[in-house]
Structure 1
Amino acid sequence: MGDNGTALLEMRDITKRFGAVTALSDVNLTVRQGEIHAICGENGAGKSTLMKVLSGIYPHGSYNGEIVFDGAPGDFKDIRSSERRGIAIIHQELALVPVLSIAENIFLGNEHASAGVISWHETTTNAQQLLDRVGLRESPGTRISDIGVGKQQLVEIAKALSKKVKLLILDEPTAALNDEDSRHLLDLILELRRQGLTCIIISHKLNEVMRVADTITVLRDGRTIETLAVGPELAEEDIIRGMVGRPLVDRFPERTAHEIGDITFAIEDWTVYHPLDQQRKVVDGVSLNVRRGEVVGLAGLMGAGRTELAMSVFGRSYGKKAGGAVFKDGKEIRTHTVPEAIGHGIAYATEDRKHFGLNLMDDIARSITLASLPKVSRQSVINEHEETKVAERFRKDMRIKAPSVKAITGNLSGGNQQKVVLSKWVFADPDVLILDEPTRGIDVGAKYEIYTIINSLAAQGKAVIVISSELPELIGLCDRIYTLNEGRLTGEVARADASQETLMRYMMKGRG
């Protein structure tokens, strides 16, 4: 906690409207010097909007209310002016330049140069000091495109530290990270607080919030509901109650008892090499199977090869020279291209919905029908009326919050975008669905709805594979869970025997 609990930041009566929609209504937030302050709330509660007001993305004058930062008015006209005052925001969608090195990214726009010539020695030395500070053991010369999301997140923090930040804002910092990388990041945040840094963290992961935060502010429907001090008497259920306005008795819907049938999908001795490094096996001799009506989980730490396995099976979308075979209902099938995989009734819903799952310029209706256009067209002409009818049905069934099916998917919240991705694949009516981090960056209420959809798919006899970094999610959803480590299968655990400790033990198995 800060030296004397003086306020570093006060946001008073912040109201922000977009046309007829009020996104924030009289929101108040006080962050004390040297504390970690968490902001929790469902999707669409206004968390990101509030941070965009604070950082000047929504400039002073476009909202009502006032901001006082470090003893002076915070009338920020853009993100540069908030940065100059010592506010750094790290978004869920990282903003690094993939082709540049770590060092170049850290000092981008802030170069060590005299007379227009960059001093690489100084850049590299300073980058190295910052990397040591955030605990990243890569060389400053490594390209961003060659490191994983967990490490990119640390580069973003190093970049913020290089700007002499006073208030670090992290928006869903662990959403894309596995448990191990998350733990490293949270330890780093605690360490930076010990060094006097103040931090705001927006997160859906309540166990993490409880671990690092001193104070939690709950937002609901654009209003401040309550501010809670974290202590032994505060339970996760109290926060959930504030977020959703109702206690969630159970975070996972009841599984309806249904028959689990025969093995419908199997992979045998599957091996994949890294696309850039032909020597490196990213997936190493993996065999697994799924039955009709069964939900099977894939657990692993970052870099375990779960997504690479899924993408390589789904039309060889990843890697080089895969060895092994794929079987559907006992027959070996070819899935060398994505259309071949879809033709065999396999669907893959990606974790990265921004890059692969959706065209953010498309409307909801087209996004849902895209993988199965023949169903809504005759002789290659799309019947828009039919398309709208289909989309309208999914909008209702999936409870997609949008003014109409003509709404552009890029304007939806993360949870609703994810429901559109799921709708697309449910409409394609596959036999095997691979869902990669289906609830990444989604709040508790929307997660429950997505779990219900997954259960109903299994009840219809579909075979579902779920890749997730959240162990409670796998335990709550799956009939069986496979664990991967460094590309190898290290365990297979039945639902009845699955605990976080057991899974973690298998996920770490075989390391050094």
Structure 2
Amino acid sequence: MTAAAEHPVGLRIIGGTKIYPGTVALKSVDFELRMGAVNVLVGENGAGKSTMMKVIAGVEQLTEGRIEMEGEEVRFTSTDDAERHGIGMIFQELNLFPNLTVAENIFMAHEKTRYGFDIDAEGQRAETRRLMKRLEHNIDPDTLVGDLKVGQQQIVEIAKSLARKAKILILDEPTSALSATEVEILFKVIAELKTEGVGLVYISHRMDELIRVGDYITVLRDGAITGARSMEGVDVPWIVRSMIGESSKDFAKEIEHPYGEEALRVEEIRLPDSGGGFVVDGVSFSLRQGEILGIYGLMGAGRTELLETIIGRHHLADGEVWVNGKKMGKPSVSDRISHGLALIPEDRKHDGLVQILSIRENMTLSSLGAVTRGFHMNLAAEKSRVAEFVKRMVIKIASPENPVSSLSGGNQQKVVISKALMTGPKVLLMDEPSRGIDIGAKAEVFRVMRQLAAEGLGIVFVTSDLEEVLSLSDRIIVMSNGRITGTFNRDEATDTKLVQASAAGHNPDADQLNRKTA
């Protein structure tokens, strides 16, 4: 039996075109989604991947063209309409209610009821426990989603889709916030869904994942399909050529330069957790002007909390911070920004951007003083400054007056980075700066980081990507369970050494990854 016969087409887009004001997001695409298989969808940020999936999920409607299911034309006017046809989607930007419990989020708008009107809260909690067991997570159904870490919220988002029992499931960057162990669990669930005949669409910028999990691949570039085939025989160079016409990722060209004076020093940073221990436990390091310091570790290592403590977000934190030789006072975000610290947060949607504001307003939000004269803003100066950073960061926009929510994930990330750079920082703290960014955008962001370092900016960046931390860092710190478990210069760092250091302190995620590497 041929692969096509094993995996019948469950949904087709024929001549699909989607036009936004000033932008053609999809250009006459023909797409086939096969059932009982993983349909990989790749392309640079802004290529049209998320737009095409939003059309299938009922979030957007085609300007031209049609959708067919089982040979019949269908039209999804809403997400509810798509769900009635068995389509579910896990969005790249988490779509959860932080002030509701895990169980309430999972069954939002699909509540279990008794006699059709009374919500069966206990039944929802029981089903949530079953889903969490399937996903191998011990998350209490009554926990508020806002109290969970980003990786745990991603697990809740996945559980929410599993609860819908969709026939077609779209996963948009599902592993962007997951640890190595959580990724393995997700892949096991995907394999189970395939055996049940579910058709899956898998969007990711992680090439190794695509090749490992995919059965069929479709490549988009500038809203058009540039390649569609079985995954058999596909390798990374083929994917990259189809995406951007290049055969090399070119993460970061070296820009050799001497380091300057000490830009940042932290001593004995501690941040207590709710259980009586420490999320960050006695961390000390220094950073010189022009140096890029990579902090590697797995989920739960305390990396994000360390950066948040340095920027002054946590008032219960203990320890000392110096910027350019000046000791910082009590934790205060605004005070530390004024002294030259800037943070690129991990969760750009909630912590980095105001979705209802324009691209221009978001970019200048942290540096309004630079474009203010007396009591009035100099709008001409603001527009000029925004145009400068749009060009510098290669941000794809139709107009700076469009809402920032209209941009692709990678371009939103570039807006967040631009906003931080506009404050004129001496030290830039970057938490997972490449999360949800494609190969081309990564290369652009990393080249900017190298250029900024060459100009004397000190950079601390957190990542769980071994290739990134080894390619970009001048020096690497490894964290596990809130502590530093290894420090390496660029010449001595290897992936094996980093994984072994991240396994220190009996981190189960690291233990599993270490066994795989070995």
Given the two structures, how large is their TM-score scaled by the length of structure 1? Answer: 0.93
Alignment of 1:417-496 (within 5 A): 417-496=412-491
Aligned-residue offset at 1:136: 2.4
Q: Find the aligned partners of 2:399 and 2:148 in 1 and give their Cα distance.
A: 39
Aligned-residue offset at 1:70: 4.2
Q: Deviations over 1:491-512 (max 9, x none)?
A: 1122223333322222221116
Alignment of 1:10-409 (within 5 A): 10-59=12-61, 62-115=62-115, 116-231=117-232, 233-244=233-244, 246-274=245-273, 277=274, 279-315=276-312, 317-318=313-314, 320-334=315-329, 336-409=331-404
- Given that residues 269 and 287 in structure 1 are in contact (C-alpha distance below 8 angstroms), is that contact kept between their aligned partners in structure 2? yes
- Given that residues 15 and 30 in structure 2 are in contact (C-alpha distance below 8 angstroms), is that contact kept between their aligned partners in structure 1? yes
- Given that residues 135 and 185 in structure 2 are in contact (C-alpha distance below 8 angstroms), is that contact kept between their aligned partners in structure 1? no
Aligned-residue offset at 1:93: 1.6
Aligned-residue offset at 1:139: 3.0
SS across alignment from 2:298:
coil
Letter in 2 for 1:436: D
Q: Deviations over 1:148-167 (max 9, x none)?
A: 22232222222222222111
SS across alignment from 1:497:
coil
- Given that residues 433 and 462 in structure 1 are in contact (C-alpha distance below 8 angstroms), is that contact kept between their aligned partners in structure 2? yes
Match of 1:8 among 7, 10, 23: 10
SS across alignment from 1:374:
helix
Match status 1:412 vs 2:407: yes
Aligned-residue offset at 1:382: 1.8
Task: Quickly say closer, same or farther: Cα 1:155–1:342, change in 2 above 3 A.
Answer: closer
SS across alignment from 1:410:
helix
- Given that residues 46 and 407 in structure 2 are in contact (C-alpha distance below 8 angstroms), is that contact kept between their aligned partners in structure 1? no
Q: Which runs of 5+ in 1 are unaligned?
A: none
Task: Quickly say closer, same or farther: Cα 1:208–1:263, change in 2 above 3 A.
Answer: same
- Given that residues 314 and 335 in structure 1 are in contact (C-alpha distance below 8 angstroms), is that contact kept between their aligned partners in structure 2? no
Q: Deviations over 1:214-244 (max 9, x none)?
A: 111101111111113223x422111011011
- Given that residues 218 and 224 in structure 1 are in contact (C-alpha distance below 8 angstroms), is that contact kept between their aligned partners in structure 2? yes
Q: Which moved more, 1:173-182 or 1:466-475?
A: 173-182
Aligned-residue offset at 1:24: 1.0
How large is the RMSD of aligned CA atoms in angstroms?
2.1
Q: Find the aligned partners of 1:226 and 1:40 in 2 and give their Cα distance.
A: 10
- Given that residues 283 and 483 in structure 2 are in contact (C-alpha distance below 8 angstroms), is that contact kept between their aligned partners in structure 1? yes
Q: Deviations over 1:421-463 (max 9, x none)?
A: 2222222221111111212111111111111110011001111
Given the two structures, how large is their TM-score scaled by the length of structure 2? Answer: 0.92
Q: Find the aligned partners of 2:120 and 2:390 in 1 and give their Cα distance.
A: 55
- Given that residues 178 and 470 in structure 1 are in contact (C-alpha distance below 8 angstroms), is that contact kept between their aligned partners in structure 2? no
Q: Find the aligned partners of 2:92 and 2:47 in 1 and give their Cα distance.
A: 16
Q: Which moved more, 1:212-221 or 1:173-182?
A: 173-182
Q: Which moved more, 1:496-505 or 1:234-243?
A: 496-505
Q: Find the aligned partners of 2:300 and 2:167 in 1 and give their Cα distance.
A: 33
Letter in 2 for 1:6: P
Q: Find the aligned partners of 1:69 and 1:216 in 2 and give their Cα distance.
A: 20
- Given that residues 2 and 34 in structure 1 are in contact (C-alpha distance below 8 angstroms), is that contact kept between their aligned partners in structure 2? no
Q: Find the aligned partners of 2:76 and 2:367 in 1 and give their Cα distance.
A: 47
- Given that residues 271 and 278 in structure 2 are in contact (C-alpha distance below 8 angstroms), is that contact kept between their aligned partners in structure 1? yes
Aligned-residue offset at 1:13: 1.7
Q: Which moved more, 1:447-456 or 1:129-138?
A: 129-138
- Given that residues 107 and 159 in structure 1 are in contact (C-alpha distance below 8 angstroms), is that contact kept between their aligned partners in structure 2? yes
- Given that residues 286 and 489 in structure 1 are in contact (C-alpha distance below 8 angstroms), is that contact kept between their aligned partners in structure 2? yes
Q: Find the aligned partners of 1:493 and 1:326 in 2 and give their Cα distance.
A: 22
Q: Find the aligned partners of 1:114 and 1:51 in 2 and give their Cα distance.
A: 34
Task: Quickly say closer, same or farther: Cα 1:329–1:148, change in 2 above 3 A.
Answer: closer
Aligned-residue offset at 1:335: 5.3
Task: Quickly say closer, same or farther: Cα 1:101–1:2, change in 2 above 3 A.
Answer: farther
Q: Find the aligned partners of 2:484 and 2:506 in 1 and give their Cα distance.
A: 13
Q: Find the aligned partners of 1:382 and 1:403 in 2 and give their Cα distance.
A: 24
Q: Which moved more, 1:436-445 or 1:395-404?
A: 395-404
Letter in 2 for 1:212: V
Q: Find the aligned partners of 1:411 and 1:224 in 2 and give their Cα distance.
A: 21
Task: Quickly say closer, same or farther: Cα 1:9–1:349, change in 2 above 3 A.
Answer: same
Task: Quickly say closer, same or farther: Cα 1:391–1:99, change in 2 above 3 A.
Answer: closer
- Given that residues 295 and 480 in structure 1 are in contact (C-alpha distance below 8 angstroms), is that contact kept between their aligned partners in structure 2? yes
Task: Quickly say closer, same or farther: Cα 1:130–1:353, change in 2 above 3 A.
Answer: closer
Q: Find the aligned partners of 2:410 and 2:35 in 1 and give their Cα distance.
A: 33
SS across alignment from 1:321:
coil
- Given that residues 168 and 199 in structure 2 are in contact (C-alpha distance below 8 angstroms), is that contact kept between their aligned partners in structure 1? yes
Aligned-residue offset at 1:31: 2.1
Task: Quickly say closer, same or farther: Cα 1:391–1:322, change in 2 above 3 A.
Answer: same
Task: Quickly say closer, same or farther: Cα 1:33–1:485, change in 2 above 3 A.
Answer: same
Detail structure 1 runs of 4+ shifted over 4 Å in the superposition.
none
Q: Find the aligned partners of 2:354 and 2:103 in 1 and give their Cα distance.
A: 32
Aligned-residue offset at 1:73: 3.0
